[in-house]
Structure 1
């Protein structure tokens, strides 16, 4: 077997799993940009709590604002070609429908809220 055939056979066999693991571990130890292991950051929960606080404080006005901003963002994304979303509804058109219904509910709630406020005065 020639040197060339031996090299071709070695390449065809590929690295062993131990070689791959040791290379990865070496790269992680020597890479300053490698992420450090630690607890997950529950940032989403903080965001959700802040949104809930704003919703509680501002009532239907907050719902209108958040739904309108979300609708505008999804509309732009849909026009740019997004058909599947990471949202639970998955289909961008369903997300747009959902956000539109939320905005309409916010408007209805704002009318009721303003009517109740005017009746007290």
Structure 2
């Protein structure tokens, strides 16, 4: 079976021949944000430590590969790495207090 997905409705402007049909906006990021928030709520500082260490590893690799500016609001990857390190340290303190 070929052709468009019958479950999707074409936007009104797609019927006009001078416009290219566009795919509808997929709010996947919102789903990702909600999942991260849920994990943060359930796991608390453990989730913060995990996500911050994962981000530190990712940004360190990207910086070694030549990325000097990030799309992150902080811009410079050194500032992003510093921010993530502070978050990881805060998570470590939070875990220590939580266990104690």
Q: TM-score, normalised by structure 1?
A: 0.64
Structure 1: where are the runs of 5+ without partners? 1-24, 29-35, 116-121
TM-score (norm 2): 0.77
> How far apart are the structure 2 equivalents of 1:38 and 1:75?
35
Q: Show the counterpart of 1:113.
A: 98
Deviations 1:8-50 (A, max 9, x none): xxxxxxxxxxxxxxxxx6xx6xxxxxxx424311111110100
- Partner in structure 2 of residue 91 of structure 1: 76
Aligned-pair RMSD on alpha carbons?
A: 1.6
Number of aligned residue pairs: 83
Is it true that 1:74 corresponds to 2:70 in the alignment?
no
Kindly provide the CA deviation profile for residues 40-91 of structure 1, in whole angstroms up to 9, marking residues without a partner as x. Answer: 1111111010000001111100000000000000001111111011111111
Give the alignment partner of residue 41 of structure 2, picking from 39, 43, 56: 56
Structure index of larger Rg: 1
Distance 2:67 2:58 in 1: 11
Could you say which residue in structure 1 is the equivalent of 2:86?
A: 101
What are the ranges of 5 or more consecutive residues in structure 2 without an aligned counterpart?
A: 1-17
